[in-house]
Structure 1
Amino acid sequence: MTWRYPDMNDTKNQSAWSRWTGRISPTVVFLLPAIALYTLFVVTPTFSSAYLSFTSWDGVSDKIHFIGFDNFTEIWNSDRVHNALKNTMILTFALVVLENIAAIALAVLVDQVRWARNLFRSVFYFPVLISGIVMGFVWTIILNYNFGVINRMLELIGLASWKIDWLGNPDFALISIILSTLWKQAGYYMIIYLAGLQGIPQDLTEAASIDGAGKWQQFRRITFPLLAGSMTVSSVLSMISSLKIFDQIAVMTDGGPGFETETLTYIVYKVGFGELRQGFGTAMAMVLFLLILIITVIQVKVLRRREVQL
């Protein structure tokens, strides 16, 4: 006996077909393709990664050996991972603070410009459009010890003794990564703060101005508190982006000098693909995922509470 697709022209099948289709909500039918794609490309890889994190798979062999929590034990005891965690936290904290400060300053500046406002917005936003790889190559040239723009300018003004090996000196390598990333990302968060500034009623600042409040007092007492929502969004996005930073480090320092700029994300790449320890690299990725999740939840709760208080 073979099953045939119901013929809708057959009156005998119309009532049965109507009852069957009537049980399915149009919303469910609309969401099914998205759910299928999400399951295929997100849910399935997530569970696969969770399983591989408990194995010693090399990423190439067909044989997968289950080793329990050995990878996580090694992560807990690894000095290299501890150093990468420290670098990641320093980089993340610095970027979240500096990117938001720079973005607020740029947003306020652009918002007050009356001539060529769109030009300034485009100029400040342009670095965001550059890929991380291209940006890394550009800044590698700018910071080069021998012919970089910064060191060449120091030579031209007679300060050759002040030349710095920006990417080769352990004291300046991470700072170089932070500053180059700040240059690239600040314009993105500037747009978020600009949207927040557009939502602030002009009546408030005008009333404060009539009462004798200066520009700084207006910003401190009115503008900054009313940007709390924009700050929540920008801070969370900046934090997640900083914890996942990879492109700049891969191009500019390759995790060096030594391990001074190696982060958790970069260890996942180096160990998983460079050392063919896919199981350990996947375990690191799971740890990074949990770290991002925990920090994001805490950050959102703290910032949301601040919004309510303001």
Structure 2
Amino acid sequence: MKKTMYFFAVPALLFYCIFWIFPILKLFQYSITDFNGYAQNFKYVGLSNFKDLFEGGTLGNSIKNTLIYTAISVIAGNLIGLALALLLNQNIKGKGFYRSISYIPTLFSAIVVGFIWSYVYMPDSGMIATLFAKLGLPTDNLNFLGSYSSALYSIIFVEIWKNVGTTMIIFLAGLQTVPQDLLEAGKIDGCGTWKLLRFVKIPLLATSITINTTLSIINGLKAFDFPFIMTNGGPGDSTNTLIYSIYKMAFTEQMFGKASALGIISFFIIIVITAVTVLTMNKKEVSA
């Protein structure tokens, strides 16, 4: 019986090895070569790819942009999602409709969302520029995606807009589990809205907070879709994230070996940050 059970696990194990373990091993192999993506006569160059990444400035800029992207999307996304969940958890008229409206952006693919917001941000004929013009406001400095200082933050806003619905739903699910008698007891003890939120609801939302924080961190650290669709990493290198830099090195500059080295560095960065976050949040759940 036990042998039969192991036999049924073989296909899944093979699938895992072929599509996960083997590519990772090849990634480590290519990271110490000058492989360009197609030629098979590549040479082994040792750790020079890693040295070039640390000395060339690409790694530092990509990490900086990725960390900014992740930090803002995690903090702002969770705060907005929590605020929406608290608001739409009240007994207000049409809350089902408002919940649906808030969740709709999540249903669209990143490509669709990216193209829509590229039009919204368009300097001359975009939705924001048109609205400003009709209101008689100046439109000279509305090049959101073409400005080095604003491009990254404009993309982060789109990331939050698209994913806040998922964050809201998870918080709503957590709020549904808060015992009403506990809230009533808090009100009897003189707790106002803020104290109920801080001392009752937030601690009981620890699991939801952990889930949302972890998902937001993963989404931020692997950000690629919107930088690729909306700015192509520009202007300059202002929206170059780690994953976009890997794509650019491998498929545009044809430096597959260096891209593999950056992939390994990115892999460990994502693993470490995610693991630290999960462990920290789990400890807070236990203490709560």
After TM superposition, the score normalised by the length of structure 1 is 0.89
Indicate if the aligned counterparts of 2:73 and 2:156 stay in contact, CA closer than 8 A: yes
Matched, 1:232 2:210: yes
Pick one of 64, 76, 79 that aligns with 2:42.
64
Report deviation, 1:136.
0.7
Matched, 1:201 2:179: yes
Report deviation, 1:76.
1.4
- State the partner residue of 2:81: 103
2-structure distance, mates of 1:192, 1:31: 33
- Structure 1, unaligned stretches of length 5 or more? 1-21
Matched, 1:31 2:6: no
2-structure distance, mates of 1:269, 1:86: 17
SS of 1:112's partner is: coil
How does 1:169-180 map onto structure 2 within 5 Å?
169-180=147-158
For residues 239-296 of structure 1, give each alpha carbon's deviation from its aligned partner in whole angstroms, at most 9, with x where no partner exists. Answer: 0110111111111111111111111111100010001111111111111100000111
The 1:32/1:115 distance shift into structure 2, 3 A limit, reads: farther
Count of matched residue pairs: 288
Matched, 1:135 2:102: no
Indicate if the aligned counterparts of 2:129 and 2:139 stay in contact, CA closer than 8 A: no
Cα RMSD (Å): 1.4
Return the letter of the residue paired with 1:198.
Q
For residues 33-83 of structure 1, give each alpha carbon's deviation from its aligned partner in whole angstroms, at most 9, with x where no partner exists. Answer: 211111111111111111111111000112121111111111111212211
Return the letter of the residue paired with 1:153.
L
1-structure distance, mates of 2:11, 2:139: 63
Pick one of 32, 40, 44 that aligns with 1:54.
32
For residues 96-145 of structure 1, give each alpha carbon's deviation from its aligned partner in whole angstroms, at most 9, with x where no partner exists. Answer: 10111111111112221444333222211111111111111000000110
Return the letter of the residue paired with 2:199.
R
1-structure distance, mates of 2:179, 2:257: 54
Report deviation, 1:154.
1.3
- State the partner residue of 1:247: 225
1-structure distance, mates of 2:128, 2:269: 36
Indicate if the aligned counterparts of 1:151 and 1:163 stay in contact, CA closer than 8 A: no
For residues 173-193 of structure 1, give each alpha carbon's deviation from its aligned partner in whole angstroms, at most 9, with x where no partner exists. Answer: 111011111100111111211
Return the letter of the residue paired with 2:181.
D
2-structure distance, mates of 1:78, 1:208: 58
Indicate if the aligned counterparts of 1:154 and 1:163 stay in contact, CA closer than 8 A: no
Return the letter of the residue paired with 2:246.
V
SS of 1:160's partner is: coil
SS of 1:118's partner is: helix
| Higher Cα Rg, which structure | 1
Pick one of 175, 184, 189 that aligns with 1:211.
189
For residues 195-215 of structure 1, give each alpha carbon's deviation from its aligned partner in whole angstroms, at most 9, with x where no partner exists. Answer: 211111111111112223222
- State the partner residue of 2:69: 91
SS of 1:25's partner is: helix
The 1:90/1:31 distance shift into structure 2, 3 A limit, reads: same
SS of 2:63's partner is: helix
- State the partner residue of 1:73: 51
SS of 2:207's partner is: helix
- State the partner residue of 2:166: 188
After TM superposition, the score normalised by the length of structure 2 is 0.96
2-structure distance, mates of 1:111, 1:37: 43
- State the partner residue of 1:119: 97
Matched, 1:40 2:5: no
- Structure 2, unaligned stretches of length 5 or more? none
SS of 1:169's partner is: coil
